[in-house]
Amino acid sequence: MGGMHAHVILAAGQGTRMRSRLPKVLHPLLGKPMLLYALEAALALKPERLVVVVGHGGEKVVEALEGYPVEVAWQKEQLGTAHALLQAEGLLRDFPGPFLVTQGDTPLLSPRTLEALLRRVREGAGMALLTAELPDPTGYGRILREGEEVLGNVEEKDAPPEVRAIREVNAGAYAFDGFLFQALKEVRNENAAREYYLPDLVAIYRAHGRRVLAVRGVAEEALGVNTREELARVEGVLLRRLRAEWMGKGVRMILPETIYLEPSVELAPDVTLWPGAVLKGKTRIGEGCEVGPYAVLEDTVLEPGAKANHLTYLGDATVGAKANIGAGTITCNYDGFGKYPTRIGAGAFI
Ligand code: UD1
Ligand code: MG
C-alpha cells in the first residue's frame, strides 16, 4: 500500500473519570505512558506527518513525547474531540490527505487495523471508522449502520434506550480523505455534553455525498481507557500477551497470572518464575535462572544459572552466573538522590 498520509493523535482531554492529578494519557501501562502505545502504533505506518494534540497537562505530555518525531498542536480549552482535531489544521492545512486520527486513550490498536482504515479511504471512501462489538458497550458511541455503510454515531449521553441497546461501538479510530478540515467546521455542539463531537463527521460526510465505511475490528483492540478499572483491564491484556510471548520462547511461569513484567524485560529460555515475581525496567535474566516467589527485580541482570529466592529485592544489580541470593536479600540502590549499581560475583552465596 503506497502513498503518504498524516496522522493525528488526540491527547488533550483531562480524563476526569480517572480522578487523578496525572493527565490521563500519561497513566502508565506496564511502566510506559499509555499515550506511547498509540504513538508507536502510529509510527509503525511511517506517517509523513504526525501531530499530537495536547491541552490538559500539556507541558507534561510534551515532555513524555521527547525524542519522538512528532509535531504538537495545542487545544487550549477542551471543547470536544472535533474541536481537538481542528487544532491540527494550522499544521496540516496544506496536506492533501489521507488522514488517520486516533485517541491517546486507546492503547491496544494495532498498526494492521490502522492500515485497514487507511485502505478504505485510498480505495474511495470519504471516511472510515473502526467499530467493535462489545459485550458491555457502556460509555461508547453507538453505531447506526446499513451493510458496510455507517449512517451515524450516537454518543451514550444522547442515546435513547433502543440505541443504547446497540452493542456495536465507535472505537475512536478514523481515516479521512482531504475533505476533513472543511467538514470539521460544520460540527456543532448541540448535544447533551455541549461538546464538538468528532463522530458527527459521519453525518456531515454523508450530507456531502461521501461514503462512510465501517471496519469491524476485534473487541480487544477497541478498549478505551476512561476509568481506573479500564486501565487495569487493558494492562491485563498487555500482560497476558507478554507472558504468552515469553512462555512461547521457553520461560516457565508458575501461576502466570500472578507474575508482573514489563515490555523492557528480557528473559532467556529455561528461566523459572515463581508466583508473584515482579520484573521491571531493563531487567535481563539469563538461561536457567530462577526467580522466587514475591521477588522484585528492577534494572537487574541475572547471569545464567543464578537464583534469587523469595521476597528478594534486587535493584540495579548484576548477579554473576550460578550465584544464589538467599531469601529476603535486598540490594540498596538509591539514596534519595543517585542510583548505585551492585555487583555480585559468579557463584556467590548470600
Ligand atoms: C470517544 C468517542 C466515542 C467513542 C470512544 C472510544 C467522541 C465524542 N466520542 O468517547 O464515540 O466510542 O471515544 O474510546 O469523540 N480529547 C481531546 N480534547 C477534548 C476531548 C477529548 O483531546 O476536548 C481526547 C482525549 O484526550 C482522549 C480522546 O480525545 O484521548 C477521547 O476523549 P474521551 O473524553 O475519552 O472520549 P470518550 O468519552 O471516550
Ligand atoms: Mg475515552
Task: Note the pLDDT tens digit of each residue in 177-202.
Answer: 999 999 999 999 999 999 999 999 99
Q: Decide whether any atom of ligand 1 lies within 6 Å of the 169 Cβ.
A: yes
Amino acid at 104: G
Q: Give the span between the Cα atoms of 58 and 63, in whole angstroms.
A: 9
Q: Decide whether any atom of ligand 1 lies within 6 Å of the 58 Cβ.
A: no
Q: Decide whether any atom of ligand 1 lies within 6 Å of the 272 Cβ.
A: no
Average pLDDT over residues 69-73: 98
pTM (predicted TM-score): 0.96
21, 26, 27, 29: CA torsion to nearest 10: -170
- Residues making up the chain, counted from first to last: 350
DSSP assignments along 29-52, one per residue: ETTEEHHHHHHHHHHHT--SEEEE
Tell me which ligand sits closest to the C-alpha of residue 11.
Answer: 1
Q: Is 310 among the catalytic positions?
A: yes
Q: How confident is the model at residue 114 (pLDDT cuts 50, 70, 90)?
A: very high
Average pLDDT over residues 223-247: 98
Contact in structure between 310 and 295 (CB atoms under 8 Å): yes
Alpha helices, DSSP H, located in the chain: 34-44, 58-64, 81-86, 89-92, 111-122, 161-164, 180-184, 201-207, 219-222, 228-248
> For residue 145, how far is its CA from the centre of ligand 2 (angstroms)?
22
Quick: pLDDT tens for 75-112: 999 999 999 999 999 999 999 999 999 999 999 999 99
Q: Give the span between the Cα atoms of 252 and 291, in whole angstroms.
A: 11
Atom in ligand 1 nearest the alpha carbon of residue 153: 11
Q: Decide whether any atom of ligand 1 lies within 6 Å of the 102 Cβ.
A: no
Q: How confident is the model at residue 241 (pLDDT cuts 50, 70, 90)?
A: very high
Pocket perturbation via mutation, ligand 1, pick of 14, 26, 77, 81 by most ligand atoms within 8 A of CB:
81
DSSP assignments along 280-295, one per residue: ETT-EE-TT-EE-TT-
> For residue 299, how far is its CA from the centre of ligand 2 (angstroms)?
33
Quick: pLDDT tens for 261-303: 999 999 999 999 999 999 999 999 999 999 999 999 999 999 9
**Grid cell digits, residue 248:** 512461547
pLDDT at 2: 62
Q: How confident is the model at residue 333 (pLDDT cuts 50, 70, 90)?
A: confident
pLDDT at 16: 94
**Grid cell digits, residue 321:** 552466573
Angstrom CA distances, 34 to 38, 41, 143, 238, stand at 7, 12, 26, 11
List CB contacts of 215: < 8 A, sequence separation 6 or more.
113, 116, 117, 120, 128, 129, 130, 131
Q: Give the span between the Cα atoms of 239 and 74, in whole angstroms.
A: 33
CB atoms within 10 A of CB 77: 9
R_g over Cα of the chain: 23
